[in-house]
Structure 1
């Protein structure tokens, strides 16, 4: 006779043979796993939308209510931006099989830079983890949007270096040209001297 209350002898530490389950992450979801490219794409996309909303609302507030209200409205818009930052970091940490509470590391100066690099470059866990199944493969739009973020960063840094350098060059070139150009008084005296010969 077998005991119905005895422990099973099946090894449950390995995933089942048909455990290839994935899910389609939603951009505005609070839970679920997102990979590296989705982290960049979703964070950048949502921040762009919030910045556009910030520009419109602050502009309207300044026009209708005055400058003080526009500043207050700007601070109010930063609250959703901070929330989005923590939500995206939590979802990325869940892909790394880490607790979302680690997203609070983004508040610590200097540590937040290393933490951000960790979120961008660390590969997620393969297969299901304690936070659910892995996301489906990245679509073309996710890949394109995730590439825009680094390109904007690189071009922004280059522009911040190149534009002031070019402005200084043009100022120096104009100053040098002004020093080398003959003055009108010198030209008339030269012409007067030539006519006497």
Structure 2
């Protein structure tokens, strides 16, 4: 089975969501005009992301569902079965000419979005816009222009969530076993500080319990939990720079683990979404402060090691 799918809008707003707010939120999310967003929610299915990795699908569906937009997953049709599965394609719309008569199959039409001249078809060969929707949007634009609210139309964004607003970005929780998602540099350092603080507290408690079975069990549990958390933080930071989490195995090689840590705190993450999902939220002041403290402690530790030598 293919690892990539197409994601489409159903053209409807989910129950319990305000339609007007959904229009505004969709326009912000896809970086399109509000008029274009209205046209996408007229009950007709529209593919907005092709070749989407299945691992990224939940993030896109969550972001769209949060603003009340219905979606549907479309499995790519193999070329050999393309003819046999023509029921999956959109029906060819009958285009009405200026004289009110239906256009013939070979009649030339002009795309209202980009001006490309072509034979009758649903999607423009030049810009990929839905011609009927573009006409409807331009008609709406003309009506709005009379009210003094002129809004330009443009083709749909090529990269969904490329620059998604902050409220739609996904940030993996601190306590989790999931290896999916991304952490930026500040969050990575802040969570490192939190992890080692919890580890020190756990070791102190285990020492207070003594060196009996209970104390030793507590100490081993703390060290195992810290190791798992360290691996997860490293994997999510690697994802942020579009690298596989397998590089986290270098943590078990002390000489190389140091250089891996330096690499992770120096190299910035990729902008927008990458193979491992969307960017995490911009760090808060607290996260930045904790990240800065962790960075300073790391530098002081490096200086101390140099002085000892």
TM norm. shorter chain > 0.5: yes
Q: Does residue 75 in structure 1 map to residue 217 in structure 2?
A: no
Larger Rg, first or second structure (1 or 2): 1
Which of 175, 182, 190 in structure 2 is aligned with 1:28?
175
Distance 1:128 1:77, change over 3 A: same
Alpha-carbon distance in 2 for matches of 1:17, 1:57: 46
Alpha-carbon distance in 2 for matches of 1:146, 1:130: 25
Distance 1:98 1:42, change over 3 A: same
Higher relative contact order (CA 8 A, sep 6+): 1
Match of 2:159? 15
Alpha-carbon distance in 2 for matches of 1:42, 1:33: 13
Contact 2:193 2:294 in 1 (8 A): yes
Match of 1:194? none
Cα deviation per residue 1:90-138 (whole Å; 9 max; x = unaligned)?
1101111111121112222422222111111111111011211101111
Alpha-carbon distance in 2 for matches of 1:115, 1:153: 13
Which runs of 5 or more residues in structure 2 are unaligned? 1-82, 90-122, 130-155
Match of 1:96? 241
Distance 1:110 1:42, change over 3 A: same
Which of 255, 267, 280 in structure 2 is aligned with 1:122?
267
**Aligned-pair distance for 1:159?**
7.3
Classify the secondary structure of the residue corresponding to 1:61: coil
Contact 1:61 1:73 in 2 (8 A): no
Q: Kindly report which structure 2 residues correspond to 1:122-161, keeping only aligned pairs within 5 A, or say none.
A: 122-155=267-300
**Aligned-pair distance for 1:15?**
0.5
Classify the secondary structure of the residue corresponding to 2:210: helix
TM-score, length of structure 2 as denominator length: 0.43
TM-score, length of structure 1 as denominator length: 0.65
Which runs of 5 or more residues in structure 1 are unaligned? 165-197
Alpha-carbon distance in 2 for matches of 1:92, 1:99: 10
Higher helix share: 1
Match of 2:190? 41
Which of 210, 225, 230 in structure 2 is aligned with 1:61?
210
Contact 2:241 2:268 in 1 (8 A): yes
**Aligned-pair distance for 1:160?**
8.1
